[in-house]
């Protein structure tokens, strides 16, 4: 079983659309994350949740809204998609946010056309 699973893996959509990426972890971890990796492979944290509560919210446009219905799920909803949103979005989890190993999902390749 995949420890951190995210869907869809590939997503091609037009500018202005709204889309969601779902993420689930079956590791029993308390903390989940969303990272964005751009075309230059730069990996930047977007959000971090601990036990369903938002603890890190980097400078991300309001069009991005994470939702954590329970500590095993952290979904990412994006409104009014723009060309610059094209990237690979990685969901991840860790036991806590104090420096334990982060386990990454396989990534969701988002292309906005």
Partner 1 sequence: AQSVSQHNHHVILSEAASLELGCNYSYGGTVNLFWYVQYPGQHLQLLLKYFSGDPLVKGIKGFEAEFIKSKFSFNLRKPSVQWSDTAEYFCAVNEAGGYQKVTFGTGTKLQVIP
Give the residues lining the site for partner 1 (CB under 8 A): 40-45, 48, 50, 55-56, 58, 90, 97-99, 101-107
H/E run at residue 32: strand 31-37
Q: Which of 93, 94, 76 is nearest to 85 (CA)?
A: 76
How far apart CA 67 and CA 21 sit, in angstroms, is 10
- Residue 15 CB, nearest approach to partner 1 (Å): 26
- Residue 75 CB, nearest approach to partner 1 (Å): 18
Nearer to partner 1 by C-beta: 15 or 43? 43
- Residue 70 CB, nearest approach to partner 1 (Å): 19
């Amino acid at each position: 079983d995949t420890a951190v699973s995210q869907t869809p893996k590939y997503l091609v959509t037009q500018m202005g659309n709204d889309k969601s990426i779902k993420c689930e972890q079956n590791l029993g971890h308390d903390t989940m994350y969303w990272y964005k990796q751009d075309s230059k492979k730069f990996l930047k944290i977007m959000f971090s949740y601990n036990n369903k509560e938002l603890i890190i919210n980097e400078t991300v446009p309001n069009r991005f809204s994470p939702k954590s219905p329970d500590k095993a799920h952290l979904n990412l909803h994006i409104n009014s998609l723009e060309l610059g949103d094209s990237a690979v979005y990685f969901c991840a989890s860790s036991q806590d946010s104090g420096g334990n190993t982060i386990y990454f999902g396989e990534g969701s390749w988002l292309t906005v056309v």
